[in-house]
Amino acid sequence: MTTQDIGTVKQINRYPVKSFGGEGLPSAELKWSGIDGDRQYAFHKVADGSRFPWLTGRALSQIVTYTARFADPADPRKSTVRVTAGKDEFSLRDPILAKRLGDAIGEEVRLIQIGRGIFDTMPVSVMATATPPLVEAAAGVPIDPRRFRANLVIETPSGEAARETHWVGGTLVFGDGPDAAKLLVSSPIDRCVMITIDPDTGERNPAILRTVVERFDNFIASRCSPAVLGTIKVGDRVRLER
């Protein structure tokens, strides 16, 4: 086995509601289902019988500007969730919120809660700080790292060699000691139109996705699955085992 120091944890992001803006955390519990409380809720289109009935930014760009947070961050399974949408604030379960979202897309939507999380593929995403500046330079426009919705942002040296796509096949170890949390880095994340949406305004810039496809093979950030459970904290040393 080889071990390489790759950086430190810069940000931990949890998204209580699928496609909504999330909350930053100083620490998080890594469960078998991922970051505890992540993507625990989603709105789904009632008439959609497909395998992907979720209301996301693909159908409603403005949904990414809605911010969700747990009232009790330490107990996401039982906590209520507050949603901020511009100058308005709602309880997540407020029927007015569901109606507002449904009216925006012209069909009925309902809230669902799934404790194990509602993920497109694997439950944890990681990204190196080296990556957004490379995309920014290639696209020629400012790139907010929030476009990529990573759960864990790792502070790394700059440059292509430090990108998270090079970690695929390895295991990330967070902190020191025998109880360190670990993630298996399984695959790079192939991106979709979600990254074209500005997280503050909801406006789309299709050129960003074109740049990612043409210059980065459409891969930004990496998918992970839990290997050893534990606590991950901002500032933790991160090592890559192979």
Percent of all residues in the chain with a pLDDT value above 90, rounded to a whole number = 95
What's the pLDDT band for 115 if we cut at 50, 70, 90?
A: confident
Confidence band for 122, pLDDT divided at 50, 70 and 90: confident
What is the CATH classification number for the domain harbouring 106? 2.40.33.20
Identify the domain containing residue 132 by its residue range.
3-241
What is the number of domains present in the chain? 1
- Residue 121: band (very low, low, confident or very high) from pLDDT cuts 50, 70, 90: confident
Q: Output the pTM of the full model.
A: 0.96
**Position 120 confidence tier, pLDDT thresholds 50, 70, 90:** confident
pLDDT, tens digit, 9 for 90 and up, residues 44-65: 999 999 999 999 999 999 999 9
CB 174 within 8 A of CB 230: yes
Q: Which of 116-120, 170-174, 182-186, 212-216 shows the lowest mean pLDDT across its residues?
A: 116-120
Residue 22: both structure tokens together: 């999330």
Residue 179 C-alpha from the chain's centroid: 25
Predicted confidence (pLDDT) at residue 103 exceeds the cutoff of 90 = yes
98, 92 contact by CB (below 8 A): no
For the chain, the average pLDDT equals: 96
pLDDT 10s digits, 28-40: 999 999 999 999 9
What pLDDT was estimated at residue 178?
Answer: 86
Banded model confidence at residue 66, pLDDT cuts 50, 70, 90? very high
pLDDT of residue 219: 98
Q: What is the pLDDT of residues 137-172, one digit of tens each?
A: 999 999 999 999 999 999 999 999 999 999 999 999
Q: Which residues contact 17 (CB under 8 A, 6 or more apart)?
A: 39, 40, 41, 42, 43, 66, 68, 81, 83, 92
DSSP for the chain reads --EEEEEEEEEEEE-SBTTSB-EEESEEEEETTEETTTT-EEEEETT--SS--B--TTT-GGGGG-EEEESSTT-TTT--EEEEETTEEEETT-HHHHHHHHHHHTS-EEEEE-TT---SS-SEEEEETTHHHHHHHHHTS---GGGG--SEEEE--SSGGG-GGGGTTSEEEESSSTT-EEEEEEEEEEP-GGGGB-TTT--B-HHHHHHHHHHHTTEEEEEEEEEE-EEEETT-EEEEE-
Q: Taking Cα atoms as reference points, which of 106, 117, 109, 140 lies closest to residue 40?
A: 117
pLDDT band at 69 (very low <50, low <70, confident <90, very high): very high
